[in-house]
Structure 1
Amino acid sequence: MAMHNPPHPGEFIREVYLDPNGITGRQLAAKLGVASSTLTRVINGNNGISSEMALRLSKALGRSAESWMIMQNNFDLWHARQRVDLEKVQMVELNLAGQ
């Protein structure tokens, strides 16, 4: 089931982990072993979660790396559906041998 306008992972990090726990982006960046500017771009929604960042977040915050990647994918796919025009895209008829 598709989500309606899923949050960017950075928004999720801010609302679920940083704000309620009084943790700054700079503090989390230090725990993640990344530059604070790198994490700031994620938190502000300017950058997505890479697989490397997903691994770091998984270890630091306890969610699986897969859950971070799924969250990013859901966000990206929802936004792509809003802007991509599929009107001219056509099905390819495939001849599947052996079937």
Structure 2
Amino acid sequence: MSIANTTGMKRRPTHPGEMLREDFLPDYDLTVSSLAGAIGVSRQSVNELLRERRSVSPEMALRLARLFGNSPEFWLNAQRAVDLWDAAQAIEKDVALITPLSAV
């Protein structure tokens, strides 16, 4: 049995770029350039991700998962949480006007 989460999150989930910037880069002693080189992408791509101006794509998730030994789902789920939060905030009032259906 599980307990339903009815309250919802009160804060925006952590962006994968922040995770990389605050946790992974220092722990692995990586720079923007060394991370970009290790995963075969441009420094600009990494920099935009770290500054939270870019989302983690499936391709980037595969690269990061391979490098850090975790799963692509880890990175995509983190991005999905941020995307859903942002969307929910953007259309909160519109969604509240929708009347849920009941099965007959």
SS in 2 for 1:14: helix
* 1:74 and 2:81 aligned: yes
Q: Give the residue type in structure 1 aligned to 2:35.
A: L
Q: Which residue of 1 aligns with 2:15?
A: 8
Q: Tell me the TM-score normalised to structure 1 length.
A: 0.82
CA spacing shift, 1:79–1:24, aligned 2, 3 Å: same
RMSD of aligned alpha carbons: 2.3
CA displacement at 1:19 relative to structure 2 = 2.3
| d(CA) in 2 for partners of 1:59, 1:39 | 16
* 1:42 and 2:84 aligned: no
SS in 1 for 2:13: coil
Count residues in correspondence.
96
Larger RCO (CA under 8 A, 6+ residues apart): 1
- List gaps (5 residues or longer) in structure 2: none
| d(CA) in 1 for partners of 2:25, 2:95 | 42
CA displacement at 1:71 relative to structure 2 = 0.3
Runs of at least 4 residues of structure 1 off by over 4 A? Answer: none
Percent of aligned pairs with the same amino acid = 33
Q: Give the residue type in structure 1 aligned to 2:36.
A: A
| d(CA) in 1 for partners of 2:32, 2:85 | 26
Q: Deviations over 1:35-75 (max 9, x none)?
A: 01011111100000000000000001111001110000001
* 1:86 and 2:97 aligned: no
| d(CA) in 2 for partners of 1:54, 1:87 | 30
* 1:52 and 2:59 aligned: yes
